[in-house]
Amino acid sequence: MNKPVLTIVVPCYNEQEVLIETASQLSGVLNELISDFLISKESKILFVDDGSKDRTWELIEKESEKNPFVKGIKLARNVGHQNALIAGLETASKQSDCVISIDADLQDDINVIRTFVEKYWEGFDIVYGVRDSRETDTFFKRTTALGFYRFMEKIGIKLVPNHADFRLMSKRALDELLKYKETNLFLRGLVPLLGFPSTKVYYDRKERFAGESKYPLKKMLAFAFDGITSFSVAPIRFVTFLGFLSVIFSAIAGGYALIQEILGHTESGWTSLMVSIWFVGGLQLMGIGIIGEYIGKIYSEVKRRPRYAIEMDIFSSNESGNHQKEAVLNKGR
DSSP per position, 213-248: -S--HHHHHHHHHHSS--GGGHHHHHHHHHHHHHHH
Beta pairing class for 163-170 and 6-12:
unpaired
Reported as a single tens digit per residue, the pLDDT across 108-152 is 999 999 999 999 999 999 999 999 877 766 677 777 777 777 777
What is the chain's mean pLDDT, rounded?
82
User: For 324, which DSSP code?
Assistant: -
What is residue 130's predicted lDDT score, i.e. its pLDDT?
Answer: 94
For the cut 70, the answer to whether the pLDDT of residue 245 exceeds it is yes
Residue 159 confidence class, pLDDT cut points 50, 70, 90: confident
Reported as a single tens digit per residue, the pLDDT across 38-87 is 999 999 999 999 999 999 999 999 999 999 999 999 999 999 899 999 99
Residue 323 confidence class, pLDDT cut points 50, 70, 90: very low
- Going by C-alpha positions, the residue among 187, 43, 195, 175 that lies closest to residue 117 is 43
What is residue 315's predicted lDDT score, i.e. its pLDDT?
Answer: 85
Q: What percent of the chain has pLDDT over 90?
A: 47
Residue 276 confidence class, pLDDT cut points 50, 70, 90: confident
For the cut 50, the answer to whether the pLDDT of residue 297 exceeds it is yes
Overall average pLDDT of the 9-30 stretch: 95
Structure pTM? 0.76
Task: Kindly list the distances between the CA atom of residue 205 and the CA atoms of 11, 56, 117, 274, 328, in Å, as whole numbers in the listed order.
Answer: 18, 24, 19, 51, 36
Q: For residues 330 and 311, is the Cβ–Cβ distance under 8 A?
A: no
Reported as a single tens digit per residue, the pLDDT across 81-116 is 999 999 999 999 999 999 999 999 999 999 999 999
User: For 318, which DSSP code?
Assistant: S
Q: For residues 294 and 283, is the Cβ–Cβ distance under 8 A?
A: no
What is residue 220's predicted lDDT score, i.e. its pLDDT?
Answer: 62
CA 31 distance to own-chain centroid? 28
What is residue 262's predicted lDDT score, i.e. its pLDDT?
Answer: 77
Dihedral pair phi/psi, residue 195, rounded to 5°: 85, 5
- Tell which wins on pLDDT, 238 or 47: 47
CB count, 10 Å around CB of 17? Answer: 18
Helix (H) or strand (E) holding 27: helix 19-35
What is residue 330's predicted lDDT score, i.e. its pLDDT?
Answer: 41
What is residue 124's predicted lDDT score, i.e. its pLDDT?
Answer: 97
Q: Give dist(CA 129, CA 109) in Å, integer.
A: 9
- Going by C-alpha positions, the residue among 147, 139, 136, 163 that lies closest to residue 221 is 147
- Tell which wins on pLDDT, 270 or 306: 306
Q: What is the dihedral of CA 15, 20, 22, 24, to 10 degrees?
A: 170
